[in-house]
Amino acid sequence: MMKNLRRTSQILFLLVFLILFIQTEYKGKDELGLPVRLFLDFDPLIALSSLLATHVVKKIFLLSLVTIALTFFLGRVFCGWVCPLGTLNTVIGYFRMRRPSRNPDDGNHPRMRKYKYYILVFILVAAVFGWNAAGFLDPISITIRSMAIGFNPAINGLVRAFFEFSYVLAVPGISPAMDSLYSILTGTLLAFEQPVFRQMIPIALIFSAILALNFVAPRFWCRYLCPLGALLGFVGYRQLFARVDVDGEKCVSCHMCNRSCQGDATPFPPGQWTSSECLICFNCKDVCPASAVRIHPSMKKTGDGKVDLQRRHIIATGVAAIAAVPLIGLGETGKRHSPDLIRPPGALPEDEFLRTCVKCGECMKVCLTNGLQPAFNQAGLEGLWTPVLVPRLGYCEFYCNLCNQVCPTGAIRSISLEEKQKIRIGLAFFDKNRCIPYALGRNCGVCEEHCPAPGKAITFLIEEGIDRSGKSFELKKPVVNPDLCIGCGICENKCPIVDKPGIRVSSINESRADYQLYL
Amino acid sequence: MADRRTFLKTLAGGAAFLLAPAGKLASNTTATDAGTSFAVVKSKDTAAAVRKSVELLGGMGAFVNKGETVFIKPNISWDKIPDQAATTNPLVVQTIVAMVIEAGAKKVIVADNTCNDARRSYKRSGIQEAAEKAGADVPFMEKRKFVRMDLGGDVLKEWEVYTEAFEADKIINVPVAKHHGLSGVTLSMKNLMGLIGGRRDLLHQKLSESIVDLAFFFKPNLTILDAVRILKAHGPQGSTLGDVERRDTIAASSDLVKIDAFGIDLFGEQFREKGLSGFPHLKMAEKKGLGTSDYRTNGYVGLDLDKT
Ligand code: SF4
Ligand code: SF4
């Protein structure tokens, strides 16, 4: 019974997660109604590492205390009942569990349980020294990022291809019906436009690998690697309300509980149940042929199982983390700001931004124009997968401020639209060797037409031009006014020179950094 | 020099209309409904102005038959609100949709290929809501529905055209009168750019030729110019509300050239120096037989509803 309840909860939370994920898109309102970052708000690893790295207490961190309190009383129910990555792992791991094997402890590797604690130690120590690495390995962050950047574009691409094919086939009766369905789906279940992301394949592959590990052991990630799982295991190992109690008298030593255990918590042999590893999944109780398993509130210690953490390993991990902090900052970008490092409006100054951003990819998912892309080397190793605007792929829409609404940590701080419209994120420069009026002596002016900056950051210098037949005409050469340009990049995006544009935005002159001022 | 003279004449006429006391204007009206080929109506009541202008041309029934599919092309290019006059006034669109449905159309489609994000532009221009309220379909232009076809133009040989516009029985073009940084103004012919896809930004290099080609290819059955508010500077998307001027004027005709010539006059002083030769597309369009830039002489009616 409880097992079914747990399954229902997992499905419901996964659905909520997916709905919130799909809602993380412009749906006709300037304010995104549903709090799409909800799962991250309740994530204590994100809160803790951000707190340690930035020394800033944010109100939003309070929500994660709910998770902490829940775990304190009930153990890792978040992992077993709520976490969307956990649920995906449960589903895939289920197939692994059902594979018959002669080894009674098949798929269980209790000695690997410690690794996730070392990962957690690494993350927290690094955070204390200023490197917030939680985003790379936090399960919620990984899931949102991988879905937004990797899977969502792929799924959209496949479904679209299917519908486009039907459209092209033009089967009377069927194709028009399919096409109406397609129109309804776009912007609702499907993205409004096909999303395109740099690093889609590696990010999707990493996530696929995490899912595939379930074939090595069920819920491999949750049992052996997940730092959030480790944190919750630590918080909840003394819980008193859902203790697994195996009655040694009744036990027939069939190992069924261990083999069905989601968390590798070793309910068998009796007395070895490990509280910090238990996901309260109720499988052991459900599967026990002798009804020897009880799960109930108890003041008594019902299990003595331990994770064999070793002090010297913890210290070594801490030392490694301390050493890693200066090392990851050694890249080229530590010396000089990359011209391509165009951050979304409202981004904190770069140092703080790096310490605060958890690379969840929500801003990239929500970006109206698909212009926000995961950084590769623009921000150094530390800044891998942080958002950068790539104007050739998408520009910053003047009346949009969605990205700061979804940012869970305030790396893109919450700003009003009026404020956003005044923030300079870069500066546009003409390449006179390519810009059509300069290089080819013909009028164009597409950039000027699109520039949204009040007063127009692009204006024309009017000169006399001579056309092929020798007639003179008004040649309008565009110039940028650095006082007005906000770096939104629509000019670069729309420039008709589709390969290397005649105007490019670079990060110089951005408002958030004095050292970046142009003049 | 001939076109300079025509221009001055036109301008004089236009200016007379714009400056003349409205009562006198109304009494100037001699043409019968049937003979009217160009109607200008002023009124604070925008819907009434739209209705009157079409009525003067013989009513919507003169353009739309029962059971037809009508494609209405307003300007929804920008993510701006109606006050900014970068997009067609939603009330104008709504009224036209209603009239087309009253005339018995089977299906009314309102759409545009936008410059800013389509969702935002449809929404913030107010056009989506207004047109849907009146009973139109307001779909986003989806890429697959653009088909490359032969336009037979001088510059535009083959281009991607929005099939639903091409296949509709009738096209009603509903531009808004705006300044344009490159071409001076954007009016009825330029508005047709929203019916094509592909790399249309390339056309800026031969803008006049291109829009005449478009006018020739699409030949909208009716054009209704929205000059409720006109955008006088920083066009075509404008910058601050200071660029906008309220005119409460609607002009209707099936002659795009007349509409564009009238539209230029609307800006008054601004283009006086340039003359018609400053707008080469008019001459090109005339030469192609698309219409005449002399909108004052034959079948012209000007009305000010608020004064009569
Ligand atoms: S980068 Fe600009 S367009 Fe993209 S989400 Fe942020 S505010 Fe919107
Ligand atoms: S980046 Fe380009 S379009 Fe944007 S404000 Fe600057 S000049 Fe204007």
Do A116 and A225 touch, CB atoms closer than 8 A? yes
* Secondary structure (3-state) at A370: coil
> In angstroms, what is the span from residue A272 Cα to ligand 2's centroid?
65
Residue nearest to atom 1 of ligand 2 (CA): A487
- How sure is the predictor about A63, in pLDDT bands with cuts at 50, 70 and 90? very high
Count of positions (residues) in chain B? 308
A331 versus A146: the higher-pLDDT residue is A146
Amino acid at B138: V
Number of Cβ pairs < 8 A linking chain A and chain B: 79
- How sure is the predictor about A102, in pLDDT bands with cuts at 50, 70 and 90? confident
Backbone angles phi, psi at B302, to 5 degrees: -125, 135
Q: Residue B185: name the closest of B258, B250, B254, B271 by CA.
A: B271
Angle between helices B2-19 and B256-266 (to 10 degrees): 70
- Number of CB atoms found within 10 A of residue A413's CB: 17
Q: Do A476 and B182 touch (CB under 8 A)?
A: yes
Tens digits of residue pLDDT in A411-446: 999 999 999 999 999 999 999 999 999 999 999 999
* A373 and chain B in contact, CB less than 8 A: no
DSSP annotation of A404 reads H
Tens digits of residue pLDDT in A9-36: 999 999 999 999 999 999 999 998 777 7
pLDDT of residue A1: 80
Ligand 1 pocket test, candidate residues A369, A420, A488, A492, most atoms within 8 A of CB: A369
With b for 16 or more beta-carbon neighbours within 10 A and e for fewer, the A94-130 pattern comes to eebbeeeeeeeeebbebeebbbbbbbbbbbbbbbbeb
Task: State the Cα–Cα distance between residues B131 and B108, nearest whole angstrom.
Answer: 9
Give A182→chain B minimum CA distance, Å. 11
Give B172→chain A minimum CA distance, Å. 24
CA distances from A146 to A50, A137, A291, A356, A405 (A): 21, 12, 41, 19, 20
Which residue is it, tokens 């068998």? A268
- H/E/C letters for each residue in chain B? CHHHHHHHHHHHHHHHHHHCCHHHHHHHCCCCCCCCCEEEEECCCHHHHHHHHHHHCCCHHHCCCCCCEEEEEECCCCCCCHHHCCCCCHHHHHHHHHHHHHCCCCEEEECCCCCCCHHHHHHHCCHHHHHHHHCCECCCCCHHHEEEEECCCCCCCEEEEEHHHHHCCEEEEECEEEEECCCEEECHHHHHHHHECCCHHHHHHHHHHHHHHHHHHHCCCEEEEEEEEEECCCCCCCCCHHHEEEEEEEEEECCHHHHHHHHHHHCHHHHCCCCHHHCHHHHHHHHCCCCCCCCCCCCEEEEECCCC
- Nearest 5°: the CA angle B224, B226, B232 is 140
Task: State the Cα–Cα distance between residues B120 and B80, nearest whole angstrom.
Answer: 8
| Positions of E strands within A422-506 | 427-430, 458-466, 472-480, 503-506
* Secondary structure (3-state) at A412: strand
pLDDT of residue B33: 45
pLDDT of residue B18: 45
**A294 sits in which H/E element:** strand A293-296
Q: Do A443 and B207 touch (CB under 8 A)?
A: yes
Which residues in chain A are contacts of B117 at CB distance < 8 A?
26, 368-369, 397, 400
Q: Which residue of A has its CA nearest to B203?
A: A444
Q: Residue A353: name the closest of A369, A342, A364, A340 by CA.
A: A342
The two three-digit tokens of residue B260, written as one number: 């564009």
CB-ligand 2 contact for A487 (6 Å cutoff): yes
Atom of ligand 1 nearest to the CA of A371: 4
Task: State the Cα–Cα distance between residues A381 and B119, nearest whole angstrom.
Answer: 36
> In angstroms, what is the span from residue A413 Cα to ligand 1's centroid?
13
> In angstroms, what is the span from residue B86 Cα to ligand 1's centroid?
21
- Can you tell me the ipTM of this complex? 0.91
Angle between helices B280-287 and B207-218 (to 10 degrees): 40
Q: Which residue of A has its CA nearest to B122?
A: A28
Angle between helices B127-134 and B90-102 (to 10 degrees): 20
pLDDT of residue A33: 79
Closest partner CB to A192 (pick from B119, B139, B201): B119
Give A501→chain B minimum CA distance, Å. 13
Q: Do B142 and A400 touch (CB under 8 A)?
A: no
Average pLDDT score over chain A: 94
CB-ligand 1 contact for A148 (6 Å cutoff): no
Sign (positive or negative) of CA dihedral A374, A376, A379, A380? positive
pLDDT of residue B56: 96
CB-ligand 2 contact for A126 (6 Å cutoff): no
CB-ligand 1 contact for A371 (6 Å cutoff): yes
Q: Do A448 and B181 touch (CB under 8 A)?
A: yes
Tens digits of residue pLDDT in A36-55: 789 999 999 999 999 999 99
- Predicted confidence (pLDDT) at residue A514 exceeds the cutoff of 80: yes
Sign (positive or negative) of CA dihedral A298, A299, A304, A306? positive
Whether a cis peptide bond, with omega within 30° of 0, leads into B236 is yes
Which residues in chain B are contacts of A192 at CB distance < 8 A?
118-119, 140
pLDDT of residue A370: 97
Sign (positive or negative) of CA dihedral A22, A24, A30, A32? positive
Q: Do B205 and A448 touch (CB under 8 A)?
A: no
CB-ligand 1 contact for A396 (6 Å cutoff): yes
The beta-carbon contacts of A320-328 under 8 Å, at least 24 apart in sequence, are A320/A122, A321/A121, A321/A122, A321/A123, A321/A125, A321/A126, A321/A129, A322/A125, A322/A126, A322/A129, A324/A122, A324/A126, A324/A131, A325/A126, A325/A129, A325/A130, A325/A131, A328/A131, A328/A380, A328/A381, A328/A382
Amino acid at B47: A
Q: What is the mean pLDDT of residues A380-389?
A: 96
Task: State the Cα–Cα distance between residues B158 and B199, nearest whole angstrom.
Answer: 12
Tens digits of residue pLDDT in A223-268: 999 999 999 999 999 999 999 999 999 999 999 999 999 999 999 9
Each residue's pLDDT, cut to its tens digit, for chain B (308 residues) gives 334 333 334 444 444 444 333 333 433 343 344 589 999 999 999 999 999 999 999 999 999 999 999 999 999 999 999 999 999 999 999 999 999 999 999 999 999 999 999 999 999 999 999 999 999 999 999 999 999 999 999 999 999 999 999 999 999 999 999 999 998 999 999 999 999 999 999 999 999 999 999 999 999 999 999 999 999 999 899 988 999 999 999 999 999 999 999 999 999 888 877 777 789 999 999 999 999 999 988 899 999 999 86
pLDDT of residue B7: 39
Sign (positive or negative) of CA dihedral A115, A119, A124, A126? positive
pLDDT of residue B276: 72
Task: State the Cα–Cα distance between residues B199 and B197, nearest whole angstrom.
Answer: 7
Do A276 and A305 touch, CB atoms closer than 8 A? no
Residue nearest to atom 4 of ligand 1 (CA): A367
* Secondary structure (3-state) at A261: coil
CA distances from A87 to A92, A97, A143, A278, B61 (A): 9, 15, 11, 15, 62
- Predicted confidence (pLDDT) at residue A518 exceeds the cutoff of 90: no
Residue nearest to atom 5 of ligand 2 (CA): A485
A292 versus B3: the higher-pLDDT residue is A292
With b for 16 or more beta-carbon neighbours within 10 A and e for fewer, the B155-167 pattern comes to bbeebbbbebbbe
What torsion, rounded to 10 degrees, do the Cα atoms A328, A334, A340, A345 define? 90
Tens digits of residue pLDDT in A482-506: 999 999 999 999 999 999 999 999 9
- How sure is the predictor about A157, in pLDDT bands with cuts at 50, 70 and 90? very high
The two three-digit tokens of residue A170, written as one number: 């033009």
What torsion, rounded to 10 degrees, do the Cα atoms A172, A174, A176, A182 define? -160
* A392 and chain B in contact, CB less than 8 A: no
Task: State the Cα–Cα distance between residues A317 and A113, nearest whole angstrom.
Answer: 16
